[in-house]
Amino acid sequence: MSSQSIPCHLVSWEEAYQLSRRLARSIKSSGYRPQLVIAIGRGGYVPARIVCDFLLHNMLTSFKIEHWDTAASMRPEAAVRFPLAVDVRGQSVLIIDDVTDTGDTLRTAIDYVKELGAGEIRTGVMQHKTASPVVPDFYAEEVKEWVWIIYPWAVHEDLVGFAEKVLDDGPASLEQVSARLKERYDLSASEEDLAEAMDDLVGMKKAEMVGKAFRKV
């Protein structure tokens, strides 16, 4: 069975930095001054730190929500995996993530922080997909056409995930895997990066070498 084609967009480190900077400017211009900034792990770690830098804010903490796995694979529902380790009762907070997609992660985060007794709660993301039913208070960019966004801090794991998907079409050499990634997902990877991804697939026993080809296990 042919693996499903998914449009992908790779965000560079510079682009992620500038998006986080624009997000911070939006928050700053609103006049909102949270007592605590909360990053949603893992996607919100980097943008939250950059936002704090531009807000000159040093009260940053985090908790982890699991919803998306690698390569656009989704768990049944979003759930808090590692909870907050600080008391947020009565505090004004700003929750930061990288992107809104289904909106489930942000909704789960808001509900969780409310249950902990936080005061005013506002949310911010670098990129807001307009298909999301949850609209954050702040965002740097609207994404009107749905794409799977690959951030620079998750390139390798997404490459591993998409490489595993293209092996559903049968065994393939490194060059053939590269061609399938380009055809299905418009993804380009260096030979070094792709070889490292395939080595990890083999190491995780999700693929094996058959001659010069990789075969899904």
Domain ranges in the chain? 8-149, 154-216
Distance CA 135, CA 122 (A): 11
pTM score, whole prediction: 0.89
Do the two domains 8-149 and 154-216 of this chain adopt the same fold? no
Q: Which of 47, 12, 40 is nearest to 26 (CA)?
A: 47
* Residue keyed to tokens 């954050």: 136
3-state helix, strand, coil in the chain (%, to 5): 40, 30, 35
pLDDT score at 37: 99
Distance CA 51, CA 116 (A): 23
pLDDT score at 1: 37
Looking at the DSSP assignment, which residues form a beta bridge with residue 210?
213
Do residues 184 and 167 touch, judged by C-beta distance below 8 A?
A: no
Distance CA 19, CA 26 (A): 11
Q: pLDDT tens per residue, the chain (217 residues)?
A: 345 788 999 999 999 999 999 999 999 999 999 999 999 999 999 999 999 999 999 999 999 998 755 555 555 678 888 999 999 999 999 999 999 999 999 999 999 999 999 999 999 999 999 999 999 999 999 999 999 999 999 999 999 999 999 999 999 999 999 999 999 999 999 999 999 999 999 999 999 999 999 999 9
CATH architecture for residues 8-149? 3-Layer(aba) Sandwich (3.40)
CATH architecture for residues 154-216? Orthogonal Bundle (1.10)
pLDDT score at 59: 97
Residue 17 CB neighbour total at 10 angstroms: 17
Do residues 149 and 99 touch, judged by C-beta distance below 8 A?
A: yes
